[in-house]
Amino acid sequence: MINRRIDEIDQAAIQELVDGQVAEGRTLEYKQQLPGRTDSEKKEFLADVSSFANTSGGDIVYGMVERRDSDGRPTDLPEEARGLADLNLAAERQRLESIVRAGVEPRIPGVRMVQVDGFPDGPALVIRIPRSWITPHMVKFGGTSRFYARNSGGKYQMDVTEIRSSFLRSEEVPKRIREFRDERLGRLLSGESPVSKLHAGPLLVTHTVPVEAIASVQRIDVLDNVPSPSELRPPGASGWDHRYNLDGFLTHNTSAMQPDATAYLQVFRDGRIEAVRVLDHHDLDDGRYIFAGNITRLILEMAGRSLRVVNSLGLSAPIVVLVSMIGVGGCRVLTSRRGHSAPHALDRDTIVFPDASSNDLAVAPSELLRQVLDLFFQAAGWPQCIYFDAEGVYTQPED
C-alpha cells in the first residue's frame, strides 16, 4: 500500500514506486490498463478487489508498466508509470463500482478511487481497498462463487479453513468495539477517568472507533500525527489544557480556578477517541432537569470533532460512533431552559445507544446519529427528535 492517505497521493508518490523498485505484494498491485468489458477481465478485477478486502487492504495502481525478464515473464516490479489515455474518471468510477456492487457479496465498504495526473499517456488511477470488517467477501460472477485472499505472491483462492477463520474474525470486530466501550464506561462508573477529578453530575460519553484500530493486524500508533490542541477542544469547553499520558493524548478543561473537570477528550494511541462532558443540569424540588438542545448539540459536536480528528490522524473509514449517558436516571428533559419538559423522566441511570457506523469520514453527524437522537427523545417520552423537520432536515436547537 502506498504510504500516504489516498487524497495525498500525487505524481511523486507514484514515481517513488518506480524509482524505489517497490514490488507488488500483499498490499500493492500494478496494472497497465483498466479492466475491460469481457467476463474474464471483470472476474479478474473482482478477485483483485475482494482479495485485498479479505486480507490487509491495499492499493491497485492502474497506468503502471510492469518490468519483464529476458523471457518476457512479469517480475512484479514497476518499469514505468505511463498513466491511462483518455481516462474519464467519473464514467470509470461508476462502471467499476457497478461491477463490484453486482459481483461481490457482501458489499465492500470504503473503496475509494483517486486520479493522479502528470504521466506521459494520461493520469494514473489508484483504487484503495480497505481491510474489511465484514469478511469474507465472495466473488459471485458468471455462475461461480469464489473467495480470494492475498499473500506476498499476490491473490489466491481461499480454502475452507481460511474461509471459516475469516468468518470468525468478522464476528470478533464488533464484539471488540463494544467490549472497549463497556470497559471504558465501567471505569467512569467506578470514578476512574484520565483527569484527576470529574465534576459531579450526569455524563454524556462518546466513543469513536476507526475499525482499522480494532481490525488491523499491525500495531498502530498515531501520536506522531496528533493535530494541534486547538483541534482537540474538549466538548463544550471554552478553555482547556493538554498533555500526553499513558493512553495517548489528552485535552481537558481543568485549571487552577477549576480543579474539577467538566469535559475531556482522550485520543488513544491507536486512534480510538473518548469524549466526555458533564451535562448542564438544574436540581429543583421536583427532581433533576437536563436540556435537550444542549445534549443534542453536544452529541453532534463530539461526534463531528472526533471524525475530523480521525481523519487528521491519517486513519480511514469505516468508523463506529457509540453514544452513552451515565447518571441520568430520574432526569427530566427540557426542550428549553424556560420550561416544556419531557412527558416522562428517564427510567434508567445508564443509557447505551446502538452503534452508528459510516464508510465516510465526511458524513454529517446529524445524518450519522439520527437514530441515536431519536432514541434519546423517545427515552424521554417524545416520538422522535424534535430538531428534525418532516423532510429529515436538522435544525440547530435554540437554548
pLDDT of residue 220: 64
Q: What is the pLDDT of residue 301?
A: 94
**Average pLDDT in the 19-35 region?**
94
pLDDT at residue 1, rounded to an integer? 86
- Domain boundaries for CATH 3.30.950.30 within the chain: 6-158
Q: How confident is the model at residue 337 (pLDDT cuts 50, 70, 90)?
A: low
Report pLDDT for 168.
74
Share of the chain above pLDDT 90, in %: 61
Q: Residue 336 has what pLDDT?
A: 66
Domain 6-158 CATH assignment equals 1.10.260.40? no
> Which carries the bigger pLDDT value, residue 77 or residue 211?
77
pLDDT of residue 187: 94
Q: Is the pLDDT reported for residue 245 higher than 80?
A: yes
pLDDT at site 373 = 96
Could you write out the three-class secondary structure of the chain? CCCCCHHHCCHHHHHHHHHCCCCCECCEEEECCCCCCCHHHHHHHHHHHHHHHCCCCEEEEECEEEEECCCCCEEEEEEEECCCCCCCHHHHHHHHHHHHHHHEECCCCCCEEEEECCCCCCCEEEEEECCCCCCCCEEEECCEEEEEEEECCEEEECCHHHHHHHHHHHHHHHHHHHHHHHHHHHHHHCCCCCCCCECCCCEEEEEEEEHHHHHCCCCCCCHHHCCCHHHHCCCCCCCCEEEECCCEEEEECCCCCCCCECEEEEEECCCCEEEEEECCEEEECCEEEEEHHHHHHHHHHHHHHHHHHHHHCCCCCCEEEEEEEECCCCCEEEEECCEEECCCCCCCCEEECCCEEECCCCCCHHHHCHHHHHHHHHHCCCCCCCCECCCCCECCCCC
pLDDT tens per residue, range 368-393: 999 999 999 999 888 999 999 888 89
- pLDDT over 90 (residue 397): no
Higher pLDDT, 331 or 170: 331
Give the pLDDT of residue 110: 82
Mean pLDDT of the chain: 89
For the stretch 111-163, pLDDT in tens is: 889 999 999 999 999 999 988 878 899 999 888 899 999 998 889 999 998 88
List pLDDT tens digits, range 257-294: 677 899 999 999 999 999 999 999 888 777 788 999 99
Q: Which three cell numbers stand for residue 95?
A: 462502471
Supply the pLDDT for residue 196: 84
Predicted confidence (pLDDT) at residue 316 exceeds the cutoff of 90: no
pTM, entire model: 0.73
Residue 211: pLDDT band with limits 50, 70, 90 = confident
